[in-house]
């Protein structure tokens, strides 16, 4: 089942950036340009996560987070800002936000945060057995098998090389000691 994310930011370009990055990763993304628009969209949909900007004209991100938290305490909320302060971060954490991120964000940061938070959401997800089996890539199975069979030989190489390394270290130390270098 496709995870649904709400992105609230008064800068349309930022919302489109989040939408482009997260849609490419399989999420369904809705954007809102204000807190009011966010609640209009929120009322008619079931979201799995919310990204909200901190500074917005009508309602700031902390107000959006507080109101969403009142309606759905389990819903993960990420506050994103270019104007973060320790005080704002403390208030956000007190509201129970999952993350407090400083702009600018790279696509990889957005992807990583969404994946990490979606992995720890409280909502139960059912994964069919066939999907789990299909998720194991054949290349990782082959690599793991190769490492399994190669491990004894790698260990043997270390055991055989250890005496030579020890003799070399003793000879080098003895030579330095004999020459008076320490």
Note the pLDDT of residue 83: 81
Note the pLDDT of residue 133: 42
Contact 45, 7 (CB under 8 A): no
Backbone dihedral angles phi then psi of residue 164, each to the nearest 5 degrees: -65, -40
Tens digit of pLDDT at every position of the chain (182 positions): 688 999 999 889 998 999 999 998 889 999 999 988 888 888 867 889 999 999 888 888 898 899 888 888 889 999 998 887 889 899 889 888 999 998 888 999 999 999 998 885 444 333 343 444 444 445 567 777 776 777 787 777 767 877 887 787 788 878 888 888 76
Note the pLDDT of residue 132: 41
CA dihedral 111, 115, 117, 118 (to 10 degrees): 130
Domain segments of the chain as ranges:
4-126, 134-179
Q: 4-126 belongs to which CATH class?
A: alpha beta
Note the pLDDT of residue 46: 85
Using alpha carbons, select from 19, 5, 8 the residue that is nearest to residue 81: 8
Strands of the chain, DSSP E: 4-8, 28-32, 49-53, 77-81, 99-102
Note the pLDDT of residue 139: 57
Note the pLDDT of residue 131: 42
Note the pLDDT of residue 127: 38
Q: Which conformational region is residue 29 in: left (phi greater than 0), alpha (psi within -120 to 50 degrees), or beta?
A: beta
- Which CA distances in Å does 26 have to 34, 124, 130, 148, 156? 25, 19, 19, 33, 45
Note the pLDDT of residue 49: 93
Q: Per the confidence metrics, is the pTM higher than 0.85?
A: no
């Amino acid at each position: 089942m496709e995870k649904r994310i709400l992105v609230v930011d008064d800068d349309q370009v930022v919302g489109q950036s989040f939408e482009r990055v997260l849609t490419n990763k399989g999420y369904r993304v809705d954007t809102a340009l204000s807190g009011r628009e966010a609640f209009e969209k929120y009322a008619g949909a079931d979201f799995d996560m919310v990204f909200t900007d901190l500074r917005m004209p009508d309602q700031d991100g902390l107000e959006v987070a507080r109101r969403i938290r009142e309606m759905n305490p389990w819903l993960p909320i990420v506050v994103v800002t270019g104007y973060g302060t320790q005080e704002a971060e403390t208030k956000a954490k007190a509201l129970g936000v999952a993350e407090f991120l400083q702009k600018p964000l790279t696509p990889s940061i957005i992807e990583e945060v969404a994946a990490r938070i979606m992995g720890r959401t409280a909502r139960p997800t059912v994964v069919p057995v066939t999907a789990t089996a299909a998720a194991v890539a054949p290349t990782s199975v082959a690599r793991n098998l190769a490492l399994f069979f190669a491990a004894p030989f790698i260990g043997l190489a270390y055991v055989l090389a250890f005496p030579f390394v020890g003799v070399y270290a003793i000879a080098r130390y003895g030579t330095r000691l004999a020459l008076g270098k320490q």
